């Protein structure tokens, strides 16, 4: 190449490059100035002072909270936010927009073809905006210049290529984002200024980002993954022969214009480490070539087509770079693409062994800025006056057991009522000045107590014994299983006016109760309820001993309306006394009586069939009913809760016309007469 032609090509490159940089610088400066003016007009910058009290005696100071900026989403080579090639599934804050200029430079000998000298410049001017938290549209203008000693003309310029696209994102979970990117690329071709619509290409990508800086235990790491398909129609820019067939370009021409005969399935993986002021990053990008291999493209050519070249023929690069934010809004980029392709293939531009990347972008954020300052002030330390409080425990005067649920009020102050702890009976008074403290203790089961107490500074303690309301006695006892083991469960004491519930401790219980008649029922999982109906008078303490029998797998007793129903019959011997087989059923009837103390009166009813004299039938049924009543009383059921009646054969269930029917009519029933 002559020195004159080389000089002209160099001047053309430098004129284009300097013009583009100058235009970008003007836009950045003008945009930054407009952004600052707009912020000033709207009062966007606010100075917020926060007072911080200092200990008395320390000097006052004036400091400002300052920390280095951590760079957020910044533009890629293709205008959309991300790294250099890999797109992020995040976007900037709503309302922000970005202007970016990127340059790529490569020069080497014997790369595109043997004995050549090649120099390539690529310039990208991009704009993106975030109008919604999930949307980022963008615009990219591209220009490229390639000079090669075997090219004719030696310098090939392509100006005015454009790409428009839009990215959508969605936050899946804390630190995890997914999204999609759709990009349409319009090409003009070498030496042309109009778009060739037949060469328009489309790229569709799925995006994923893991941002560890947002986790509860954050780390300065972000990982980005892109999976996309690139429908590349750039070969439509190639000229045609007289028959209308696309001419096959040389390796130099294809590298200069960046055209490809194949589509690509693209994979991009990027990792960045956002630190204060600077963010180092690394990317790996792979394009797997797909598409038909026409015979005219692959036959009698110096290079193999992709299917013959193997994996090494696919375009792949490793990118090392760094981006920084020296001042707020201004982002500087520097990096290098390292070509990893091991084979040159037919129909695809050669992968440069390296590609220098430089970038300059500005992020416009119209959001009002708030500067927070900490202003320390010397504040005198006020010494609190001495205070005292009472920690009291309420107990039953008779048993010494804690009394929970008592209400404590303070007549000498506007204090909220308190309640003693349900388990410990304790309460803690409000803090007051040392001196006399008056309070009132009220509980429905105890007499009201009005207390005066002289408090000293700090904690004061008191055990207050409450007197039961009315005459009382203690119901105590032991509960064991049929194997003799102490039972663990609860005991319920129920009367017409009052009920208590106490937990078994080591198989024992004790409860102070108002005088009256109580149904005592011990309930333990896996066992039938055992109990006793008792009447206590003033000072007439009762001590019971209850034994629990295992609960049968299937119950023979159910409740229905005003009936206690039993499954089966109550058998008697020849003397109309209970047979042993009857006792398990009647034990379940007794358990039902203890579990339902509201059954105040239950009638035991006995029936027979029509055989024998009437007087005899009535005598037999009355005796049987009484025998059952006596057994229930022996199990602890109060005699006053029961009555016995023999009905003879007056109320058959079925006609006495057969042995089977007569057996049905031989029965014992339990009817609830009075129910509380």
Q: Domains of the chain: which residue ranges? A: 3-371, 388-466, 472-548, 557-675
CATH topology of domain 557-675: 60s Ribosomal Protein L30; Chain: A; (3.30.1330)
State how far the Cα of 520 lies from the Cα of 148, in Å rounded to an integer.
107
Domain 388-466 coded CATH 1.10.8.60: no
pLDDT at 82: 95
Question: Reading across the β-sheet that carries 388-396, which strands appear in turn?
Answer: 426-428, 388-396, 458-466
Q: How far apart are CA 220 and CA 279, in angstroms?
A: 10
Strand order, beta sheet including 516-523: 499-503, 490-494, 516-523, 530-536
CA distances from 664 to 19, 490, 566, 570, 592 (A): 114, 40, 13, 12, 24
C-alpha span between 96 and 93 (Å, rounded): 6
Low-confidence ranges of the chain (pLDDT < 70): 1-70, 189-193, 369-372
Query: Do 3-371 and 557-675 agree at the fold level?
Result: no
Give the pLDDT confidence score for residue 69 in this predicted structure. Answer: 60
Q: Give tens-digit pLDDT for 375-425.
A: 777 777 778 889 999 999 999 988 889 999 999 999 988 899 999 999 999
From residue 298, how far is each of 232, 239, 295, 301 by CA, in Å? Answer: 18, 18, 5, 6
What six digits make up the tokens of 7?
Answer: 């000089």
Tell me the three state secondary structure of residue 421. coil
The predicted pLDDT at position 192 comes to 63
d(CA 97, CA 265): 30
- Say if residue 396 is exposed, middle or buried (CB neighbours under 10 Å; 0-12, 13-18, 19+): buried
CB 105 within 8 A of CB 359: no
* C-alpha to C-alpha distance for 164 and 264, rounded to whole angstroms: 19
Residue 236: the pLDDT is 86
**For the whole prediction, is pTM greater than 0.85?**
no
**Contacts by 627-630 with C-beta closer than 8 Å and gap 24+?**
627/572, 627/576, 627/577, 627/578, 628/570, 628/578, 628/582, 628/586, 628/604, 628/668, 629/604
Q: What is the CATH number of domain 3-371?
A: 2.40.160.40
Counting Cβ atoms within 10 Å, is residue 323 exposed (0-12), middle (13-18) or buried (19+)? Answer: buried
Q: Between β-strands 407-409 and 418-419, what pairing exists: parallel, antiparallel or unpaired?
A: antiparallel
| Class level of CATH domain 472-548 | mainly beta
């Amino acid at each position: 190449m002559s020195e004159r032609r080389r000089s002209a090509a160099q001047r053309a490159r430098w004129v284009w490059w300097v013009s583009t940089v100058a235009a970008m610088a003007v836009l950045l400066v003008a945009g930054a100035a407009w952004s600052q003016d707009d912020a000033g007009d709207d009062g966007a910058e606010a100075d917020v002072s926060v007072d911080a009290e200092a200990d008395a005696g320390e000097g006052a100071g004036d400091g400002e909270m300052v920390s280095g900026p951590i760079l957020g989403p910044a533009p890629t080579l293709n205008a959309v936010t991300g790294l250099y090639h890999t797109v992020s599934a995040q976007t900037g804050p709503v309302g922000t927009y970005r202007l970016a200029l990127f340059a790529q430079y490569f020069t080497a000998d014997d790369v595109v073809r043997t004995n050549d000298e090649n120099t390539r410049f690529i310039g990208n001017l991009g704009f993106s905006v975030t109008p919604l938290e999930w949307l980022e549209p963008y615009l990219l203008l591209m220009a490229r210049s390639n000079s090669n000693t075997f090219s004719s003309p030696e310098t090939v310029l392509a100006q005015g290529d454009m790409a428009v696209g839009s990215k959508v994102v969605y936050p899946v979970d804390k630190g995890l984002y997914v999204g999609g990117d759709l990009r349409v690329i319009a090409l003009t071709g070498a030496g042309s200024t109009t778009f060739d619509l037949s060469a328009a290409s489309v790229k569709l990508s799925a995006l994923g980002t893991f941002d560890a800086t947002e986790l509860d235990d954050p780390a300065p790491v972000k990982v980005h993954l892109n999976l996309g398909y690139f429908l590349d129609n750039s070969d439509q820019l190639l000229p045609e022969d007289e028959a209308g067939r696309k001419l096959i370009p040389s390796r130099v021409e294809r590298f200069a214009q960046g055209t490809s005969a194949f589509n690509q399935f693209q994979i991009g993986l990027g990792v960045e480490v956002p630190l204060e002021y600077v963010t180092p990053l690394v990317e790996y990008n792979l394009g797997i070539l797909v598409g038909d291999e026409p015979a005219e493209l692959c036959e009698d050519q110096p290079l193999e087509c992709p299917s013959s070249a193997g994996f090494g023929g696919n375009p792949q690069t490793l990118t090392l770079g760094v981006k920084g934010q020296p001042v707020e809004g201004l982002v500087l980029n520097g990096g290098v693409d390292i070509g990893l392709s091991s084979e040159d293939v037919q129909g695809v531009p050669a992968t440069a062994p390296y590609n220098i990347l430089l970038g300059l972008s500005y992020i416009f954020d119209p959001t009002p800025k708030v500067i927070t300052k900490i202003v320390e002030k010397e504040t005198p330390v006020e010494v609190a006056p001495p205070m005292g409080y009472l920690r009291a425990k309420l107990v039953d005067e008779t048993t010494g057991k804690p009394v929970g649920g008592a209400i404590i009020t303070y007549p000498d102050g506007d204090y909220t009522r308190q309640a003693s702890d349900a388990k410990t009976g304790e309460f803690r008074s409000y803090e007051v000045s040392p001196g006399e403290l008056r309070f009132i203790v009220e509980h429905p089961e105890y007499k009201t107590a009005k207390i005066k107490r002289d408090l000293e500074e700090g904690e004061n303690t008191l055990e207050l014994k409450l007197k039961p309301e009315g005459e009382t006695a203690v119901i105590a006892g032991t509960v064991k299983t049929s194997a003799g083991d102490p039972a663990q469960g609860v005991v319920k004491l129920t009367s017409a006016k009052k009920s208590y519930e106490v937990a078994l401790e080591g198989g024992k219980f004790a409860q102070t109760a108002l005088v009256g008649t109580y149904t005592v029922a011990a309930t333990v999982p896996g066992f039938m309820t055992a109990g006793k109906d008792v009447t206590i008078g003033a000072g007439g303490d009762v001590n019971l001993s209850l034994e629990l029998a295992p609960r049968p797998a299937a119950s023979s007793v159910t409740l229905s309306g005003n009936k206690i129903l039993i499954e089966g019959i109550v058998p008697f011997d020849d003397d109309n006394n209970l047979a042993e087989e009857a006792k398990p059923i009647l034990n379940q009837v007794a358990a039902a009586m203890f579990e339902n103390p509201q059954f105040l009166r239950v009638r035991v009813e006995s029936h027979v069939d029509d055989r024998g004299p009437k007087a005899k039938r009535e005598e037999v049924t009355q005796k049987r009913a009484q025998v059952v009543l006596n057994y229930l009383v022996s199990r602890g059921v109060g005699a006053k809760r029961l009555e016995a009646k023999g009905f003879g054969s007056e109320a058959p269930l079925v006609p006495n016309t057969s042995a089977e029917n007569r057996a049905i009519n031989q029965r014992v029933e339990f009817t609830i007469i009075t129910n509380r």
